[in-house]
Amino acid sequence: MTEFQAAVLPAVGRALEIRTIRIDALQPGDVLVRIMASGLCHTDLEVIEGSLAYPMPIVLGHEGAGVVEAIGAGVEGLKAGDHVVASWNPHCGHCFYCERDQPILCEPFTYHQPRGHLLDGASRLTCENTTVHHFSVVSSHAQYAVLPQSGAIRVPAEIPFDRACLIGCGVMTGVGAATRVAPVLPGSTVAVIGCGAVGLNAIQGARLAGAGTVIGIDKSQSRREIGATFGADSTIGETGEDVVSLVKEATGGRGADYVFEAAGSEAGFRLGAEITRPGGNLVFLGKVNVSQDVAFRWGALMGEKKIVRSSYGGARPRRDFPWLARCYLEGKLKLDELITARLPLAKINDGFAAMRRGEGIRTVILPWG
Ligand SMILES: [Zn+2]
Ligand SMILES: [Zn+2]
331 CA distance to ligand 1 middle (Å): 24
Q: Which residues are close to ligand 2, an ion, with C-beta < 5 A?
A: 91-92, 95, 98, 106
- C-alpha angle 144-359-135 in degrees, rounded to nearest 5: 30
215 CA distance to ligand 1 middle (Å): 24
Ligand nearest to the CA of 112: 2
Ligand nearest to the CA of 63: 1
CATH class of the region 170-309: alpha beta
Ligand nearest to the CA of 107: 2
Q: Which residues are close to ligand 1, an ion, with C-beta < 5 A?
A: 41, 43, 169
At 131 the pLDDT is 97
169 CA distance to ligand 1 middle (Å): 5
Q: Where are the beta strands (DSSP E) in the chain?
A: 2-9, 17-23, 30-39, 58-59, 64-71, 83-86, 125-127, 130-134, 144-148, 152-154, 189-193, 213-217, 234-236, 256-261, 276-284, 306-309, 339-344, 362-366
39 CA distance to ligand 1 middle (Å): 8
- Whole-structure pTM value: 0.96
42 CA distance to ligand 1 middle (Å): 6
Quick one: how far is CA 203 from the chain centroid?
15
Mean pLDDT by 10 residues, the chain (369 residues): 96 98 96 98 96 96 98 97 98 96 97 97 96 98 98 98 98 98 98 97 98 97 96 96 97 98 97 98 94 95 97 97 98 97 98 95 96
What ranges do the domains of the chain cover?
2-154+335-366, 170-309
At 290 the pLDDT is 86
Of 3.10.580.10, 3.90.180.10, 3.30.70.1150, 3.20.20.80, the CATH number of 2-154+335-366 is 3.90.180.10
- C-alpha angle 92-96-99 in degrees, rounded to nearest 5: 70
Residue 154: beta bridge partners? 84
Report in angstroms the alpha-carbon separations of 221 from 103, 211, 225, 275.
37, 23, 6, 21
Quick one: how far is CA 105 from the chain centroid?
16
At 360 the pLDDT is 92
348 CA distance to ligand 2 middle (Å): 33
28 CA distance to ligand 2 middle (Å): 18
Ligand nearest to the CA of 135: 1
